[in-house]
Amino acid sequence: MLTRLQGVYTALVTPFKHDRLDESALRARLAEQRAAGIAGIVVGATTGEGPALEPSEWKQLLEICIAERGDMKIVANTGTNNTRHSIAKTVLAHEMGADAAMAITPYYNKPTQEGMRLHFSAIAEAAPIPLMLYSVPSRTSCELLPPTCGALLDHPSIIALKLAVSNLDRLTEIKQYVGERWSILCGEDSLFLPMLSIGGEGLVSVTSNVVPEAVVALYRAYTTGDWATARQWHYRLYDLNSALFLETSPGPIKAAMRLRGRDCGEVRLPLAPFSDSKLEILQRALDKVLEAL
């Protein structure tokens, strides 16, 4: 059983064509990710438009990713703001053969820290699969705080935390409670290198959809002690990391994929397509990275 998550994991976009899952494009995207040395794929999360997928589409998406994974690990996004639904999806992901599952802090409900502890405990106890928790207060209006992380250490199946916060101190604070028992993965592309420097072990990346080679190059440079090269990649990627959030993700990343000739269709409602007026900014940022590859 998987015990740690390390390296670059791509929060994969979900390709659509005529508002249906584009299986051919999906298989092509997975092949590109494998060739670039990506460690794993996070399936059906925010970047993958999980909230807009029908249950049958989520299952179809996961089936294809599992079949095409090669050496990559497959992490199924199974978390919702309904504990029973989260348990059912996590159990299904395990039965289908996913390597791990990811569960977000419950959005909209805004549970207390005790509510989050009970929610994640219930998922961990019901589903025999490695579990990565996901704290992203900008999306959910609630944050998994360090003492609550410590209170969840009794569940050996919880092995990782995706941390998407701008406060770098939070990683240090969480480490005081969990030590090396959890892998901490950065959830903000622009903070990947800083988080690696203080104990992060990887990244769940939006940017690696479009330039996986560059994000992997940063990680490999850092882990081999070539910090100068890691910093170079950090600076090269910065404008693109920022441009990919000029509007609500995954609109910008789908536009960037199209600019690189890897069309994945448009986003589904209620999201809107990326604004044409901002395409030039996105193109310049993308070209800056492509020129270095």
- Give the Cβ contact number of residue 224 at 10 Å: 10
DSSP codes of every residue in 29-96: HHHHHHHHT--EEEESSTTTTGGG--HHHHHHHHHHHHHT-TT-EEEEE---S-HHHHHHHHHHHHHH
CA dihedral 143, 101, 16, 164 (to 10 degrees): 30
Residue (of 217, 211, 222, 268) closest to 244 by Cα position: 211
How, if at all, do strands 16-17 and 20-21 pair?
antiparallel
The SS3 of residue 202 is strand
Which of 210, 203, 217 lies closest to 243, judged by CA?
Answer: 210
Q: Is the dihedral of CA 119, 124, 129, 134 positive or negative?
A: positive
Nearest alpha carbon to residue 43 among 16, 24, 64: 64
Look up residue 158 and give its two tokens: 């919880």
Q: What are the two backbone dihedrals, phi and then psi, of residue 102, each rounded to the nearest 5 degrees? A: -120, 130
Catalytic residue positions, numbered: 134, 162
What span, in angstroms and rounded, lies between the C-alpha atoms of 104 and 90? Answer: 12
Burial of residue 173 (CB within 10 Å: 0-12, 13-18, 19+) is middle
Burial group, residue 125, by CB count within 10 angstroms (0-12, 13-18, 19+): exposed
